[in-house]
Structure 1
Amino acid sequence: MKYMLIMRATDAARQDYEAMDFNEVIEKMGAYNEALLKAGVMLAGDGLADSMADNFVVDFSADPPIVTDGPYGETHELFSGFWMIQVGSKEEAMEWANRCPLGPGSKLEVRRVTEMSDFGEFADNPVLKQQETWRAESGQV
């Protein structure tokens, strides 16, 4: 089972983070990432830049879609990083999420990534079959 761990932080948590010794942050996150890698569960992961100059939002409520600077201006929690992990169960994903070195005001949203078995009666759909082929060709599980 694949899970995405989505790191979110409130404005207060981000201020606390900015006041921390950055070397300590790097060491804690590095140790967490190393544990994920050594356990063989980490597929991908990274932090996200919070520079407004590099981010944007595409809003599909209009045609053509509207592109604005982002992330969303009025949010109280920002999506600031992620990990993709492959584990044997929801409980194992929960164990890894609980080990993440985040502080007060931060949250880790854990979402299971869909699998072919989630599409049941549509499993024979040619588009879904092609996606399965693409995943295999790209080395994705």
Structure 2
Amino acid sequence: MKFMIIVKATPDSEAGRFPPDSDQLFQQMAAYHEDLAKAGVLLDGSGLQPSSKGWRIRYEAGDKRRVIDGPFAETKELIAGYTLIQCRSREEALEWSRRFPNPVGPNQPAEIEVRQLYEFEDFEGLLSSETEERFKKIGFE
């Protein structure tokens, strides 16, 4: 079972500002991710640049697509970073997420979100054998 631990953006992260004692926070993050790696559950993780360096693609009527350059106004709906883990159960993922360091620094209000990823078998019966084979060829299993 794969889970994504999502770090929510803040006005500071959107402005490209790091917390006051960034080195201490990064040390905690490094230790946490080292523990994940030692346990064999870490798949990936990274911080995201502010939305001012990104864009969205809006799908409109027909096949029309529109590019919307950042920054984006609703900070609380943005992602500042993520950690991707693979665990044996939801409970194991919950335990790892409880240990995630506060992403904005000690004693500061913050929130992370954890979401389970779909696995290939979740689509069993929905895909034709041709579509299934196409996904398997490119490494989805």
Q: Scaled by the length of structure 2, what TM-score is found?
A: 0.80
What is the Cα-based RMSD across aligned positions, in Å? 2.5
Equivalent position of 1:7 in the other structure? 7
Contact 2:8–2:112 (CA<8 Å) still a contact in 1? yes
Contact 1:45–1:84 (CA<8 Å) still a contact in 2? yes
Contact 1:8–1:77 (CA<8 Å) still a contact in 2? yes
C-alpha displacement at 1:105, in angstroms? 3.2
C-alpha displacement at 1:106, in angstroms? 2.2
Contact 1:4–1:113 (CA<8 Å) still a contact in 2? yes
Please state if 1:127 is matched with 2:141.
Answer: no
Extract unaligned runs of 5+ from structure 2: none
Contact 1:4–1:82 (CA<8 Å) still a contact in 2? yes
Count residues in correspondence: 135
Equivalent position of 1:76 in the other structure? 76
Contact 1:9–1:106 (CA<8 Å) still a contact in 2? no
Matched residue SS, 2:73: coil
C-alpha displacement at 1:78, in angstroms? 2.6
Q: Write the distance in 1 (CA, Å) between the matches of 2:126 and 2:26.
A: 44
Q: Scaled by the length of structure 1, what TM-score is found?
A: 0.80
Q: Write the distance in 1 (CA, Å) between the matches of 2:19 and 2:75.
A: 21
Q: 1:77 to 1:114 in 2, by over 3 A?
A: closer
Please state if 1:48 is matched with 2:52.
Answer: no
Q: 1:65 to 1:11 in 2, by over 3 A?
A: same
Q: How does 1:28-67 map to 2 (within 5 A)?
A: 28-50=28-50, 52=52, 54-62=53-61, 63-67=63-67
C-alpha displacement at 1:115, in angstroms? 1.4
C-alpha displacement at 1:22, in angstroms? 1.3
Equivalent position of 1:115 in the other structure? 119
Runs of 4+ in 1 over 4 A off after TM superposition: 12-15
Give the share of equivalent positions with the same residue, in percent.
Answer: 36
Determine which structure has the larger helix proportion and give its number.
Answer: 1
Counterpart amino acid of residue 60 in structure 1? Y
Matched residue SS, 1:58: strand
